[in-house]
Chains A and B, each alone.
Chain A
Amino acid sequence: DAGITQSPRYKITETGRQVTLMCHQTWSHSYMFWYRQDLGHGLRLIYYSAAADITDKGEVPDGYVVSRSKTENFPLTLESATRSQTSVYFCASVGTSGALAKNIQYFGAGTRLSVL
């Protein structure tokens, strides 16, 4: 199916473990983003990518690593998970042409991560 998909939808892990959240989009959008949602903060940008092999930090990048070897995939890795990284994580991409309206970010369904 076309769209932007995140996996897993739910994840429980322990402090210190490495966790990778996956994001896949089928629109060939250049820009992709990772946000985290916490109560009282709305959504905050972790990392973004303008194209394959081009990534940059957002507002809250500490403790996270991203890569983008292919346009359609943008995984987010927590190298050593901490309790403060318990959150809901959203991936998004920007529609700039084609069937989707221009310059609108479309979001995946989110990954709910709990770090115990």
Chain B
Amino acid sequence: AQKVTQAQTEISVVEKEDVTLDCVYETRDTTYYLFWYKQPPSGELVFLIRRNSFDEQNEISGRYSWNFQKSTSSFNFTITASQVVDSAVYFCALSEMGSSGSARQLTFGSGTQLTVLP
């Protein structure tokens, strides 16, 4: 069975601080996908990143960066110089990889509520 743990239920930072959201996963699959989604106060789910299990390169996109470490089963997300608009719930998720490389149903963590104060 798959499991995703986001131990940080709530984080509060002051604007311009850096913040890291932790994600630890468990799976018996040797190939899989990892995702981060953002859920702003408006409620929709916004895709941020997808990583496959055989690509451990870290990724940076603007103020966002992701650190994938297969050895520790972690896929952490860092926001640099946080802004008030970053306030949201962030979900980490895991999907098995189907035989054709396609993604399947997601197993979500319980989410981390990030509040960025002005």
Contact = CB atoms under 8 A, between A and B. Distances in A.
Interface string B92-112: 010100000111111111110
Nearest to A94: B103
Contact of A43 (B43, B47, B91, B104): B91
B102 A96 contact: yes
Tell me the interface secondary structure of chain A in the complex: strand
Interface in A41-69: 41-45, 48, 58
Interface in A98-113: 101-107, 109-110
Contacts of B6: 42
Interface in B48-104: 50, 91, 93, 95, 101-104
Nearest to B39: A37
Contacts of B104: 31, 94
B45 A107 contact: yes
Q: Which 8 A-B pairs have the closest CB atoms?
A: A42-B108, A103-B103, A107-B45, A42-B110, A43-B108, A45-B105, A48-B105, A42-B111
A33 B93 CA distance: 14
Contacts, number: 58
Interface of A: 31, 33, 35, 40-45, 48, 58, 88, 90, 92, 94, 96, 101-107, 109-110
Interface residues of B, number: 24
A104 B35 CA distance: 9
A92 B106 CA distance: 10
Contacts of A41: 110
Nearest to A59: B107
B25 interface: no
